[in-house]
C-alpha cells in the first residue's frame, strides 16, 4: 500500500525524499506529497494528484528548502485520490505533518470526538484524525513525542504512521501498529532516512555495495529521529536496543536493466528465479530434495493428516497448483483457498494440519491475518515468500524464500514461477519423507526440475512470436482462458495478468466446466486462450477446444512443440517445449505473461503501475 519516506540530516531533503518516493511508487501511486521544514522552521507542503513525478510541477517555482521532511505516495482507502486527500496531512496550526500507511479502524469515532473538541477537518481520509490527535495531545501540554505516542495508543487497526514537527530542532517520529505497515530505518554520517521499504534507504547505503545496516520496526515500536541520532522506543516510551540487519544489494537495488518495463525485465529473469529457488535445496548427487530448514521432524511429517495452501491473487493461483502437486506426491489431502475467505470461516486446524502460505511480499493483510489464525489454533505453518524479514516469515514456523530479488512490476511474474518451483520442492520433500515417493520417482522429478532454467530460457529467447500474437488479439474485449488440472489455475493466472495490465475483461475457467454455462458466451467476438500441453488431460482439453471451435470461437492454443494435429484445428498456436508434467505449469505461464505484456503495450497501458492496484496489499 502507501509508501512513506522521511529524512533528517544536513542535505537538501526534497530530492532525497522525492527519489525515495519514486522508488516506493510500486506501493501506490494515486497521489503524492512532501512536507519540508524550511529554514524558518515552518512546514511547507506540496501535493499532487497522480504519480510522484507530478510533484515536479507542484515545485516549479523551486522546491521548499530544508533538511528535514516527510513524503508519501498513496493508494487510496478512505477518500478518492484528490489534492486534499493526499498526504501529508497538517494540523489546524500547521505545526505537524503526518503520513500514514494502513487503516484507522476507529476513525469515525475519533473524528466525532475531535470535531466536538473544535478540530476542523479538510479531507475525507482516516489519516487526518492522526494529525488532529497529535495536535490535541500537544494542546493538552504533551511534548511532540508524547503526543505522537499517545495518538498511537488511541487508534485501532494495523498501520505505520510518521509525523514531523515544525521548528529549527525538528524531529520525525514513526511507529508501527499491527502487521500492515513496515518501517525501516538507516543512519549514516549524521543523517537518517526512514521508509516503508528498503529502496527508500538507498542514499544511505554504502555506495560501492549498496549494503547497509537497517533497523526494522516491530509492531508496537516507535522510532524518534533527530539530528542527534535515532532512538527506538516501545509505546510506553522505554528505550529499545535494536539489532540492525545487514541488507544486501539485491534487496535494495531497483533498476530496469535496459528493459522498457520492470515487468518485462522480471519475465526475462525467470530462468534465474527458478534456479535461485532451487539453489541448495536439491542434492544433485543423490537427486533428492534437501530442505534442512524444514521446521517439522520426519516423525511430525509422518503424522500430518492434511495440507492447506493459502494466498491471494497470483499467490492463490500458485496455491491451487500446489494443491495438485502436494496431493499427488505426498499422498496427503490438500486444499487451496484464498486467505481472505479462509480467515473468516473458522476453519478446522488441528495439530497435524500443515498450512502453507504463499506471498511475494509476505505483508498481504489477509494472508498475514490468516497465518496468525493458524498459529493461534495450533496448526503447523510454513511460508513461501520473497521478502526476508516480512510479517509472514516472522509468524511462520519456517520460511522458504523465493530469492527472486525485488519484484517491482505490480503484476507478479518471476515470483509466481519461483513459488511454483518451491511448491514442487515441498511436495517432493513431503513425498520423500513420508515414503510415498519411491527413489526412482523422486529422482525423476528432481531431474525434471533441473531442466527448468534451460526450458524457461528457451521460452523467452524470442519475443517476436508473442508480439505477433498480441497484434492478432489486442482488439478483443473479452477473453476466456481455459485449462484443466494444474493448468486450470494457470488459466486463471493468464486471465489475471491480462486484466490487471491491459484492463481487458478476462476469465480463467476449468475447461471441463465450460459446457456448464460459459459456452453460452462463445461467438466470434470471444477470444479463447486454451492450455493444451501434452499431459494426462490433453485429450480432454482437446475435446473442449473442439467444442469451442464448433461455436465459432477464436482459439489461441498453448501446445507442446510438435503437436501439429491439434494445431491444425485452432486459429493460432504458442508452443512450449516438451517437458515432464510437474513443470509444465511453469512453462505454460510464460506465453500468457508475454501475451498480456504485449497486448498491454499495444493498448498503451501503464504496464508497471496499472490503475487502482498496488504491489503489496496491506489493508483488508
Ligand atoms: C497479481 C498480483 C496480486 C498479488 C496479491 C498477493 O499480479 O501481484 O494479485 O499476487 O496482491 O500479493 P502477495 O503475493 O504479496 O501476498
State if residue 618 touches ligand 1 by the CB under 6 angstroms criterion: no
Residue 209 is predicted with a pLDDT of: 61
* CA–centroid distance, residue 359 to ligand 1 (Å): 7
User: Does the annotation mark 2 as catalytic?
Assistant: yes
Cα separation, 480 vs 495, in Å, equals: 7
The pTM of this model reads 0.78
3-state secondary structure of 247: strand
State if residue 357 touches ligand 1 by the CB under 6 angstroms criterion: no
Q: Is 83 left (phi over 0), alpha (psi -120 to 50) or beta?
A: alpha
* CA–centroid distance, residue 260 to ligand 1 (Å): 22
* CA–centroid distance, residue 435 to ligand 1 (Å): 34
Residue 575 is predicted with a pLDDT of: 97
Name the grid cell of 93.
496550526
CA distances from 86 to 61, 74, 93, 389, 618 (A): 21, 7, 18, 29, 18
State if residue 559 touches ligand 1 by the CB under 6 angstroms criterion: no
State if residue 500 touches ligand 1 by the CB under 6 angstroms criterion: yes
Cα separation, 293 vs 295, in Å, equals: 6
Residue 12 is predicted with a pLDDT of: 95
* CA–centroid distance, residue 1 to ligand 1 (Å): 12
To test ligand 1's pocket by mutation, which of 385, 412, 503 has the most ligand atoms within 8 angstroms of CB? 412
Neighbours of 567 (CB within 10 A): 14
To test ligand 1's pocket by mutation, which of 179, 180, 315, 356 has the most ligand atoms within 8 angstroms of CB? 315
Residue 605 is predicted with a pLDDT of: 94
Which of the following is catalytic: 22, 380, 414, 615? Answer: 615
Q: Across the strands, what pairs with 188?
A: 191
Q: Could you report the average pLDDT of every consecutive run of 10 residues in the chain (620 residues)?
A: 92 95 86 95 95 81 91 88 95 94 90 95 94 96 96 91 92 87 88 92 72 85 94 94 82 74 93 90 90 96 97 98 97 96 92 97 92 95 91 94 89 97 98 96 95 91 94 96 98 97 95 89 92 96 91 94 95 97 98 98 91 72
Residue 339 is predicted with a pLDDT of: 96
State if residue 86 touches ligand 1 by the CB under 6 angstroms criterion: no
* CA–centroid distance, residue 406 to ligand 1 (Å): 14
State if residue 312 touches ligand 1 by the CB under 6 angstroms criterion: yes
User: Does the annotation mark 385 as catalytic?
Assistant: no
Q: Whose CA is nearest to atom 9 of ligand 1?
A: 313
Nearest CA to 165 out of 187, 137, 140 is that of 137
To test ligand 1's pocket by mutation, which of 360, 385, 419 has the most ligand atoms within 8 angstroms of CB? 360
Cα-based angle 200, 204, 206 (whole degrees, multiple of 5): 120
* CA–centroid distance, residue 564 to ligand 1 (Å): 36
Residue 57 is predicted with a pLDDT of: 75
* CA–centroid distance, residue 584 to ligand 1 (Å): 22
To test ligand 1's pocket by mutation, which of 266, 318, 357, 359 has the most ligand atoms within 8 angstroms of CB? 359
Q: Whose CA is nearest to atom 13 of ligand 1?
A: 359
- The number of the ligand 1 atom at minimal distance from the alpha carbon of 314 is 10
- The number of the ligand 1 atom at minimal distance from the alpha carbon of 385 is 14
State if residue 361 touches ligand 1 by the CB under 6 angstroms criterion: yes
Residues 6 or more apart from 576 whose CB is under 8 A from it? 455, 459, 533, 558, 559, 560, 561, 584, 587, 588, 590, 591
The answer to whether 423 touches 326, Cβ cutoff 8 Å, is: yes
State if residue 589 touches ligand 1 by the CB under 6 angstroms criterion: no
State if residue 315 touches ligand 1 by the CB under 6 angstroms criterion: yes
* CA–centroid distance, residue 616 to ligand 1 (Å): 7
State if residue 367 touches ligand 1 by the CB under 6 angstroms criterion: yes
* CA–centroid distance, residue 314 to ligand 1 (Å): 5
Amino acid at each position: 500500500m502507501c509508501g512513506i519516506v522521511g529524512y533528517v540530516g544536513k542535505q537538501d531533503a526534497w530530492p532525497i525524499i522525492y527519489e525515495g518516493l519514486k522508488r516506493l511508487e510500486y506501493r501506490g501511486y494515486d497521489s503524492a506529497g512532501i512536507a519540508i521544514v524550511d529554514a524558518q522552521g515552518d512546514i511547507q507542503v506540496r501535493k499532487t494528484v497522480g504519480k510522484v513525478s507530478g510533484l515536479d510541477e507542484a515545485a516549479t517555482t523551486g522546491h521548499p528548502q530544508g533538511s528535514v521532511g516527510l513524503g508519501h505516495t498513496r493508494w487510496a482507502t478512505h477518500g478518492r485520490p484528490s489534492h486534499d486527500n493526499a498526504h501529508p496531512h497538517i494540523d489546524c496550526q500547521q505545526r505537524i505533518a503526518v503520513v500514514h500507511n494502513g487503516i484507522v479502524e476507529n476513525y469515525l469515532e475519533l473524528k466525532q470526538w475531535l470535531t466536538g473538541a473544535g478540530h476542523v477537518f479538510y479531507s475525507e481520509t482516516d489519516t487526518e484524525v492522526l494529525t488532529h490527535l497529535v495536535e490535541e495531545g500537544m494542546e493538552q501540554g504533551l511534548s511532540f513525542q508524547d503526543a505522537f505516542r499517545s495518538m498511537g495508543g488511541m487508534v485501532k487497526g494495523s498501520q505505520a504512521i510518521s509525523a514531523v514537527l515544525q521548528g529549527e530542532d525538528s524531529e520525525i517520529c514513526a511507529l508501527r501498529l499491527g502487521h500492515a505497515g513496515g518501517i525501516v530505518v538507516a543512519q549514516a554520517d549524521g543523517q537518517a532516512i526512514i521508509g516503508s521499504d528498503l529502496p527508500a534507504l538507498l542514499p544511505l547505503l554504502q555506495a560501492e555495495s549498496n549494503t547497509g545496516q537497517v533497523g526494522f520496526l516491530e509492531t508496537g515500536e516507535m522510532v524518534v529521529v533527530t539530528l542527534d541520532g535515532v532512538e527506538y522506543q516501545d509505546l510506553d516510551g522505554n528505550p529499545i536496543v535494536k539489532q540492525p540487519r545487514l541488507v544486501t544489494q539485491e534487496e535494495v537495488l531497483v533498476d530496469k536493466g535496459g528493459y522498457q518495463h520492470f515487468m518485462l525485465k522480471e519475465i526475462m529473469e525467470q530462468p534465474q528465479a527458478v534456479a535461485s529457488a532451487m539453489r541448495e535445496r536439491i542434492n544433485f548427487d543423490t537427486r533428492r530434495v534437501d530442505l534442512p530448514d524444514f521446521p517439522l521432524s520426519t516423525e511430525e511429517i509422518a503424522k500430518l493428516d492434511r495440507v492447506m495452501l493459502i494466498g491471494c491473487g497470483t499467490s492463490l493461483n500458485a496455491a491451487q497448483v500446489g494443491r495438485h502437486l502436494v496431493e499427488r506426491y505426498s499422498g496427503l489431502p490438500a486444499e487451496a483457498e484464498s486467505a481472505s475467505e479462509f480467515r473468516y470461516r473458522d476453519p478446522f486446524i488441528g495439530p497435524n494440519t500443515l498450512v502453507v502460505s504463499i506471498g511475494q511480499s509476505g505483508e498481504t493483510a489477509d494472508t498475514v491475518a490468516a497465518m496468525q489464525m493458524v498459529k493461534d489454533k495450533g496448526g503447523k505453518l510454513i511460508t513461501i515468500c520473497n521478502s526476508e524479514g516480512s510479517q509472514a516469515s516472522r509468524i511462520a514456523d519456517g520460511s522458504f524464500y523465493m530469492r527472486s530479488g525485488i519484484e517491482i512490476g505490480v503484476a507478479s511474474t518471476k515470483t509466481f514461477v519461483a513459488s511454483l518451483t518451491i511448491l514442487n520442492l515441498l511436495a517432493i520433500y513431503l513425498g520423500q519423507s513420508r515414503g510415498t515417493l519411491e527413489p526412482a520417482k523422486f529422482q525423476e522429478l528432481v531431474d525434471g526440475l533441473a531442466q527448468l532454467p534451460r526450458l524457461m530460457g528457451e521460452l523467452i529467447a524470442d519475443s517476436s512470436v508473442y508480439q505477433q500474437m498480441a497484434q492478432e488479439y489486442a482488439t478483443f474485449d473479452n477473453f476466456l482462458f481455459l485449462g484443466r488440472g494444474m493448468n486450470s489455475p494457470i488459466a486463471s493466472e493468464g486471465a489475471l495478468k491480462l486484466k490487471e495490465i491491459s484492463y481487458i475483461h478476462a476469465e480463467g475457467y476449468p475447461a471441463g466446466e465450460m459446457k456448464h454455462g460459459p459456452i453460452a458466451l462463445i461467438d466470434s467476438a470471444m477470444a479463447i486462450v486454451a492450455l493444451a500441453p501434452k499431459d494426462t488431460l490433453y485429450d480432454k482439453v482437446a475435446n473442449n477446444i473442439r467444442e469451442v471451435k464448433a461455436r465459432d470461437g477464436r482459439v489461441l492454443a498453448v501446445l507442446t512443440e510438435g503437436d501439429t494435429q491439434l494445431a491444425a484445428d485452432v486459429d493460432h498456436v504458442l508452443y512450449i517445449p516438451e517437458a515432464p508434467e510437474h513443470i509444465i505449469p511453469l512453462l505454460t505461464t510464460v506465453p500468457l505473461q508475454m501475451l498480456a505484456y504485449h497486448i498491454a503495450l499495444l493498448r498503451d497501458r501503464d504496464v508497471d503501475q496499472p490503475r487502482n492496484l498496488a504491489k503489496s496489499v496491506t489493508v483488508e
